[in-house]
A and B are shown apart, each in its own frame.
Chain A
């Protein structure tokens, strides 16, 4: 593959101090990306299809119990463990630093999901359908995945593509804040900030330099594109 010369390195900053665990991002993601609707049984079996989950951790002893929320989505690692193990290149790295997933190419070895330390890859165990009138809600920009393939967060690649095309038509780079994935757009607390890490002036790049920043499972050397800003500061002061 040719060396990347893309002016974009998409990334996200998640401020854990701002996250209220409301779950709006999860719903937005589901609506935007044609994510299958799973019933109770499927979720109990550990076969839910959420591309983004809010992890909930309890800290402290009763009565001083606090809850912490950690939104976890695909970290779009630059050294992604999921990519080299795929035998058919269904999981690949694109020039903008995204982990792509080619649904049509996926044969369903599920090796990528095993090797993903964040466990954010979801597999289509069931054939899903969208009962009427929910089928009207399906986005025409994205494939509806069949059973037997792996899927995951794409940072709403369809939105990124559209923004890049529009910018190209107008002969300018994509402006900061011009493109947002559904989760970041929906977050009422603005805990999720998306943008171009290659542009040092972008909001996400500035947040990624915060002294509160950390990356999930940083010791594994996966070099994620998602930065977390440590939470719990205010409530414990």
Chain B
């Protein structure tokens, strides 16, 4: 970008590279795929295919192939749904909020965070369809005009879910695509043949004129501001699936904010994990520096503290009131799922809080990788422990039960993880995974300003 004009006495920082070199480096992920890339894609595709077989088995045989029963009518599928919706909050958090707060260090990671949002919510959206008893008539839930004059029930939180998730898929895809326009133009100018035509189509005739940039900046800010309420509403509505019921342990006013915090916790942790993977896979050590991990670690610390607070409040009120059936749910959970509960508390609360307090640990990649992966294991367990124990011990003690997932449910959940990874791997190969123009904008703003005898690094501020 040329909107920062260095004055004669200001020199470029010694580390500054030419624009072409930066482009080459950041777009190196688009180079012809290696053998290991093909191997990864094959492995992930196999896992997805296995999940499809498991799902096909369920469709042809019946819901008895899952572990659900009466009274536990929701199990691993809905756990997976809530988990993936939660993960999808990363893009909003990292990209929008940091964009609005003008945190410059967001630039190298925002694209992967935004892409992650889109793929996570796409995966999440499949679970409510997979878990249906009669998947083949899922369209009954869609408000479409029909001769019978039948309409779905908008009083049902499942309809709110569907509306919110559709809105979020559309919103986050647009957000991702809009941010990618200048980069797509860049790729278009560097590619040849049919690829050039495809990228040209996708870049929608971007030329990089001053007017285009002005509109682009305005639109990105607007999108960033608009996507945040959508994200918050999505996870609040997912929480209402549980909170508006009369099921003990579900019917709780704190659920919407608590779910949003949990979503951001898992989302932030997943972004850090992904940053580590991308940094390693595409050799981006120079762009994803200790500063980025340090800052993300601080966010993780804050969100983990918030999550711990919300969890404490939720348990404390139940414990103090000691309403018999509510307390029964908690006692049953602690008794039947004690080690899961321990992993959850360590993974979501104790471990991130105690490690992320220290700068040295925040900047240590192996520690970060372990902590963030454990956070997401903890978050999956958290969702499971919200859904299953409450259903197991509802109001009628005679109808109490319990639940263990079947191989079908586990396969579909593993396939969801593989499917997400596959989508991301493909995306990273065909689209610029680092926001090149954003990074270069930052490079252009960097300059060494002489102050007396010293030369200080400085940054031109966005207006």
Contact = CB atoms under 8 A, between A and B. Distances in A.
Interface of A: 42, 45-48, 53, 55-57, 70, 72, 81, 84-89, 105-111, 113-115, 117-119, 121-127, 146-150, 217, 220, 222
Contacts of A47: 64, 69-70
B133 A88 contact: no
B338 interface: no
Contacts of B241: 111
B211 interface: no
B287 to A, nearest CB: 45
B152 interface: yes
A89 to B, nearest CB: 5
What 3 A-B pairs have minimum CB-CB distances, sorted nearest first?
A108-B133, A148-B133, A46-B69
Contact of A115 (B133, B134, B247, B396): B247
Contact of A149 (B133, B150, B157, B244): B133
Contact of B157 (A85, A117, A127, A217): A85
Main secondary structure of the interface of A (DSSP, over half): loop
Contacts of B396: 55, 72, 117-119, 217
Interface centre among A87, A110, A122, A146 (most CB of B within 10 A): A87
B159 interface: yes
Contact of A85 (B132, B141, B156, B398): B156
A111 B134 contact: no
Contact of A147 (B62, B68, B71, B158): B62
A55 B245 contact: no
Interface of B: 62-64, 68-74, 128, 131-134, 137-138, 140-141, 150-153, 155-159, 162, 241, 244-247, 391, 394-396, 398-399, 401
Given A88-B152, A111-B158, A117-B394, A45 B133 contact: no
Given A87-B141, A87-B158, A127-B62, A109 B131 contact: yes
B246 A115 contact: yes
Contacts of B141: 87-88, 107
Contact of A72 (B62, B134, B156, B398): B398
Main secondary structure of the interface of B (DSSP, over half): loop
Nearest to B148: A105
A110 B134 contact: no
B133 A87 contact: no
15 contacts: A45-B64, A46-B401, A70-B398, A84-B155, A85-B245, A87-B153, A88-B141, A107-B140, A108-B63, A111-B158, A113-B71, A119-B396, A124-B63, A125-B69, A147-B133
B153 A123 contact: no
A144 to B, nearest CB: 15
Given A114-B74, A114-B245, A108 B132 contact: yes
Given A56-B398, A87-B162, A123-B73, 16 more contacts: A46-B71, A47-B64, A47-B69, A47-B70, A72-B398, A87-B156, A89-B150, A107-B137, A107-B140, A117-B247, A117-B394, A119-B394, A123-B133, A125-B68, A146-B134, A220-B246
B246 A150 contact: no
B152 A89 contact: yes
